C-alpha cells in the first residue's frame, strides 16, 4: 500500500540533484500513511485470534451471500405472483367489460312470482297504527 510513496522517495534519492526538502516530505508522507493504515488494522495478540477473526469474516460473508440469494428467490416468487394476479384481474375486467352474461337467464315458475308479491304485502303493512 506504500508502493507509490516509496517510488517517489527512491526516485528523488536516485536523482542527480537530490533535494533534501522533497526527500524529507516523501519520508513524512510514508510515515503518515503507515500510521493511518496501522490504526485501522485490527490488532491480534496471538495467531489463534487472527484465525478466529478470519473465520468470522468468512462466515459473515457466506451468511450475507446466502441471505441475498434467499431474498432474490423470494423477490422472484413475489414478482411471479404479482404477474398472475395482474393477469387474473385483467381477465375479470375484460369479462365485465364485455357485458355478456355467462349463463342463461332462469325462467320463473308459476309459484315464485306469487311468493314475491305476498312478501311485498307483508313488508308494506304499518304496525305502528
Any idea what the Cα angle at residue 112 is, between residues 107 and 115, rounded to 5°?
155
**9 contacts: CB under 8 Å, gap ≥ 6:** 23, 26, 27, 30
Among candidates 37, 32, 17, 25, which has minimal Cα distance to 8?
A: 25
What's the pLDDT tens digit per position in 9-64?
A: 777 777 777 788 888 888 888 888 888 877 767 777 888 988 998 899 999 999 99
Among candidates 1, 7, 3, 4, which has minimal Cα distance to 37?
A: 1
What's the pLDDT tens digit per position in 60-118?
A: 999 999 999 999 999 999 999 988 888 888 787 777 777 655 556 666 666 655 555 44
pTM more than 0.85: no
Amino acid at each position: 500500500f506504500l508502493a507509490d510513496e516509496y517510488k517517489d522517495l527512491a526516485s528523488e534519492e536516485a536523482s542527480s540533484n537530490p533535494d533534501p526538502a522533497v526527500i524529507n516530505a516523501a519520508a513524512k508522507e510514508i510515515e503518515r500513511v503507515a500510521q493511518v493504515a496501522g490504526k485501522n488494522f485490527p490488532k491480534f495478540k496471538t495467531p489463534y485470534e487472527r484465525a478466529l477473526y478470519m473465520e468470522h469474516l468468512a462466515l459473515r460473508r457466506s451468511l450475507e451471500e446466502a441471505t441475498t440469494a434467499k431474498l432474490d428467490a423470494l423477490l422472484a416468487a413475489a414478482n411471479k405472483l404479482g404477474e398472475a394476479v395482474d393477469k387474473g384481474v385483467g381477465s375479470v375486467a375484460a369479462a365485465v367489460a364485455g357485458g355478456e352474461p355467462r349463463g342463461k337467464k332462469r325462467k320463473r315458475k308459476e309459484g315464485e312470482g306469487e311468493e314475491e308479491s305476498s312478501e311485498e304485502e307483508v313488508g308494506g303493512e304499518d304496525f305502528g297504527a
